[in-house]
Structure 1
Amino acid sequence: MERLKEKLKKVCVLSLLLSTILTFSQCKKEGTRPGNADTPLTNETPGVLDSQLVSGSASGLMQVNVSTGTSDGGFALRIPMDAKLTSDSNEKPTASTVRVFENGVEIGPAHSSHDDIRTKGKGRFSHKLNFLYLSASDNSDPKTNGKKYTYTVNGQGGAILEPTPPTTEQPTAPVAGNEPIGYASVNGKTTGGAGGQTVTVTTLDALKSALSSKSPLIIQVSGTITGTGLLQVESNKTILGLSGSKLIGAGLLIYGKNNVIVRNMTISKVRTYSNIIIKEGAHHVWVDHCDLGSELVSDWDYYDGLLDVGTGADYVTLSWNKLHDNHKAMLIGFSYTRPDDANHLKVTVHHNLFSNISERTPDVRYGNVHVFNNYMLNAGYVGSLMGATVRVENNYFKGSSLPIRTEISPVAGVISGLSTNIFESSGSNKITSAPSTWVPTYEYKSALNAAADVPAVLTKSAGATL
């Protein structure tokens, strides 16, 4: 009897210890990245961190975190899955062994077409290219119907991407002048170097020194500065180009930093890199009233892009910029194999003039991007790729051979707001996915121009006009 009591005591202690460990391991601070937010991720960083994976349960069932899902149109919810799991592909359409359960009852069929999941639903699902495309058995919204969704892999507990719980978007009022509209004003503010010293730089060395300072600074760029490569920008900076200033040959890199404003800068002819790059978890960045260009040469790779956002960057507004005379303009999402970007890349692109651009106005992979009141003049396509959700609203396309497309990636993205745009002397769109109804929650309607007014407004005011 004493031996039995001793064994029961040990079992109770072990159970209590396991419960404590599991509870502690799941506690994360809302709105932060794993690890040190100031530590930049490298290109070798896996798309899924070990700390983001939920270990298997005793029953072999794993919980599907529907809160991370985004609408894929119709009845379909798109949820990021652990890239380590074997998923379906175009070459192997039935490779996945994932089975999905709703309140303990298996649903299906698996490997359903995305169109059937969107239009028919009734529990159909697909695990393809690192995403779970899920519909409820009664075609209700899996995010709000209160049902519990679990899954197995080969009949055993697997692992599903469990990112940091997303913070709730807090509506923001549109503000004129010195504050951004859109995502750069969501879940925090973007104030740049406000409260810091104001310095004026006229040389490359002085600019590098100011950008690398750990203190808040308002950096005024004067005259013409030439250089090569990328100039790294620290957090809490406002970079303001004075009238007539130019930065030639060197670009700005915002790498894992936050609270950065770039305004009224004219940046041109940057080789190897894009003129401005925002990446590796950088957040709350506003690029406004800048002139970004190069020249249209026969080699499309001679110059890279003009304004790019990727690899976990978030809460970015790109507004009132002139992007011109370059083959590639704006890329949001740098990889076809980074499903975790579906939980980031919240970007607002408004009141930009794209002129003489071959493609990417913008090209979006995985993210949630709001593109409104832009003027595409002899400019390439807006692309929604790899399950991205893009609202294309009150834009004006003129001379665009292919304005909007979704078909150039293994998984199409979705488009909302299509009917609000004007297409003049332009070709047909190539949209292969069901329409989305997504609208961002922040307030922007008081700043929304009628699509017909966009050419006049932007011809006058876009670019380094401050």
Structure 2
Amino acid sequence: MSLLLLLVVLTFSKCKKGSDVANPESPLTTTGATLAAVNSPSGIQTLNVSKAASDGGFSYKVYDLPVTGDSGSEPSLSKMKVFENGKELGAAHSNHADIRTIGKGRFSHWLNALYLSASDNTDPRTNGRTYTYSIDGSTSSVAKPPVTNPITPPVTSPVGSDAIIGYASVDGKTTGGLGGPTVTVTSFAALKSAVSSNTAKIVMVSGRITGAGFVNVGSNTTILGVKGSSMEGVGLLMYGTSNVIIRNMTIKNVVTYSNIVIKEGAHHVWVDHCDLSSDRNHGWDYYDGLLDVGNRADYVTLSWNRLHDNHIPMLIGFGDQNTNDIGKLRVTVYKNYFYNVSERQPGTRFGYMHVFNNYLQNGSGYGVGATMGATVRTDNNYFENQQYPIYTEYNAKPGFISGASTNIYKNSGANKISTSASTWVPTYEYKSELIPAANVPAVVTAGAGATLSL
């Protein structure tokens, strides 16, 4: 009996792929992620990657391959080759942790499953490319595979003056305190009390509220600034909460903290028509940013805000070491007005960010930054007087940019993009909201900020 137990322990101790223990599921019995064409083990086959399952980070898993590949005892058995639009991907036999955190075409044929990353770390299920493979190592007939256009995304929400566009309406809805009672507050203490619970509520902020520190905002909350209201020295913090709407707020001069922070797994948050500022007279370390998203936050839309007089107004992804942000930080940034700032308009790490129709004026550093594998789609932005409009090289690793040619660059330096152009586009409808880049300055300066008559 002891000998049998020892054999079992030894067997499982070998079932590793680098630092990863093999998936204990039986890939032949897993449902919902099957291979499209597996009739023949020879020649070129097509992968139906639309039914792949996310394996975390940049890795996607396709089950039920017709031939068993690598294993703990034979880590280089597979002869599989994988092609993206006819171009061979690799390295094969990659460590699963590297596929998730580095990606860039790495793959592994492990047992009866394929662990795959796209060449530019986009989602292969939605990036519009054709993926083919050969079990026997064949390379013929792959030079000109059929290339499809990006998938037309479904409409996730209607577009209107009060509609939420972008990631705050993906994989769920952001309704805030809809259906809850409405209360008006005029003091720091009253605001903290009113927003603390997770029950549905609408909180109207009236007059001028001053203080120091931040207010923890509970889930299922809408905070609306009454016309002419303001907060000074007081920030709003979404710490692991969800379904929050913040609109028409004027917040300035928050010391130590950013004016609005969305973090620790907070999700489905919409920040709209706010005026956020500090000053650039106290040096870079006195004030933090203005509107920051990080630490596994997800499904966020930031729209029609004025962010000004600050060195580092918008950060998405707080540190190079925060690899647990991979697969998170899906953020839409549109029709915001950045001016009199230094950089971070926004600065990004790890996630998927859609940045469209923003007006970036008078930035002394970089405009949109993409690093640590972040994938940023830019559409019809207007860069004016920016030293580096788009920049990928300032952290430990670069990110990826798509749509750079759609923007206008006025009196600005050259982009510093060190990676191949991405083709990623977000999977929600936004074209009905998109305006020509030439119209952005007039439209955004007229409508951004706390301009709503509430």
**Same fold, judged at TM 0.5 (above):** yes
Deviation at 1:194, TM superposition (A): 0.6
What is the rounded CA distance, in whole Å, between the counterparts of 1:56 and 1:331 in structure 2? 36
The reply on whether 1:360 has 2:344 as its aligned counterpart is yes
Q: How far apart are the structure 1 equivalents of 2:372 and 2:338?
A: 23
Indicate which of 84, 88, 91 corresponds to 1:124. 91
Q: Encode CA deviations 1:325-349: one digit per residue, 9 max, x unaligned.
A: 0001100011101223120100000
The structure 1 residue matched to 2:197, chosen from 187, 197, 213, is 213
**Match for residue 299 of structure 2 among 315, 339, 357:** 315
Deviation track 1:286-326 (CA, whole Å, cap 9, x = no partner) reads: 00000000011241011000000001111100000000000
SS of the equivalent of 1:458 reads helix
**Separation in 2, partners of 1:129, 1:216:** 37
1:50-449 paired onto structure 2 within 5 Å: 55-56=21-22, 67-68=53-54, 78-79=58-59, 104-105=78-79, 121-124=88-91, 127=98, 130-135=101-106, 145=131, 171-379=155-363, 380-449=366-435
Contact kept, 8 Å, 2:58 with 2:327, in 1: the verdict is no
Which residue number corresponds to residue 37 of structure 1? none
- Work out the CA distance in 2 between the residues paired with 1:132 and 1:99: 24
**8 A Cα contact 1:118 1:434, kept in partner:** no
Q: 1:394 to 1:100 in 2, by over 3 A?
A: farther
CA separation of 1:361/1:317 partners in 2, compared to 1, >3 Å: closer, same or farther?
Answer: same
- Structure 2 residue 436 is matched with structure 1 residue 450: yes
**One-letter amino acid of the structure 2 residue matched with residue 186 of structure 1:** V
Partner-residue secondary structure (3-state), 1:455: helix
Look up the SS of the partner of 1:457 in the other structure: helix
In structure 1, how many angstroms separate the alpha carbons of the residues matched to 2:73 and 2:323? 20
Structure 1 counterpart SS, 2:386: coil
TM-aligned CA deviation for residue 214 of structure 1: 3.1
Give, in whole Å, the separation in 2 of the partners of 1:309 and 1:296.
22
TM-score, normalising length from structure 2? 0.73
Instruction: For residue 179 of structure 1, report the CA deviation from its aligned partner.
Output: 2.7
For 2:445, the aligned partner's letter is: T
In structure 1, the gaps of 5 or more residues are 1-6, 19-52, 59-64, 71-76, 81-97, 109-116, 150-168
SS in 2 for 1:459: helix
SS at match of 2:280: coil
- State how far apart, in whole Å, the 2-side matches of 1:99 and 1:374 are: 54
Q: Cα–Cα, structure 1 residues 303 and 450, in superposed 2: closer, same or farther, change >3 Å? A: same
Q: Partners in 2 of 1:370 and 1:322 — Cα distance? A: 18
Aligned to 1:35: none
Considering only aligned residues, what root-mean-square deviation do their CA atoms show, in Å? 3.6
Relative distance call for 1:218 and 1:79 in structure 2 (3 A) is same
Percent of aligned pairs with the same residue? 53
Separation (CA, whole Å) in 1 of partners of 2:434 and 2:254: 33
Once residues 385 and 347 of structure 2 are traced to their aligned partners in structure 1, the CA distance between those partners, rounded to angstroms, is: 18
**Deviation at residue 407 of structure 1 after TM alignment:** 0.8
Aligned-partner Cα distance in 1 for 2:393–2:409: 20
- Residues 57, 259 of structure 1: alpha-carbon distance in 2 compared, 3 angstrom cutoff: closer
1:102 touches 1:147 (CA, 8 Å); kept in 2? no
Q: TM-score, normalised by structure 1?
A: 0.71
Which structure 2 segments of 5+ residues have no match?
13-18, 25-48, 61-71, 109-115, 126-130, 136-152
Could you list the per-position Cα deviations for residues 236-277 of structure 1 after superposition, in whole angstroms to 9, with x for gaps in the alignment? 100000001000001000000000000000000000000000
What is the Cα deviation at residue 225 of structure 1?
0.3
Cα gap change, 1:129/1:55 in structure 2, threshold over 3 Å: closer, same or farther?
A: closer
Decide whether aligned partners of structure 1 residues 129 and 146 sit closer, same or farther in structure 2, where only a CA change above 3 A counts.
closer
Which structure exhibits the higher relative contact order, with contacts defined as CA atoms closer than 8 Å and separated by 6 or more residues?
Answer: 1
- The verdict on how the C-alpha distance between 1:122 and 1:245 changes in structure 2, with shifts beyond 3 A counting, is closer
Which residue number in structure 2 is paired with residue 162 of structure 1? none
Inter-CA distance 104–374: structure 2 relative to 1 (3 Å threshold):
same
| Partners of 1:128 and 1:141 in 2: CA distance | 10
- Per-residue CA shift, 1:382-412, capped at 9, x if unaligned? 1000001000110000111111000112221
Structure 1 residues 311 and 223, CA gap change in structure 2 (3 angstroms)? same
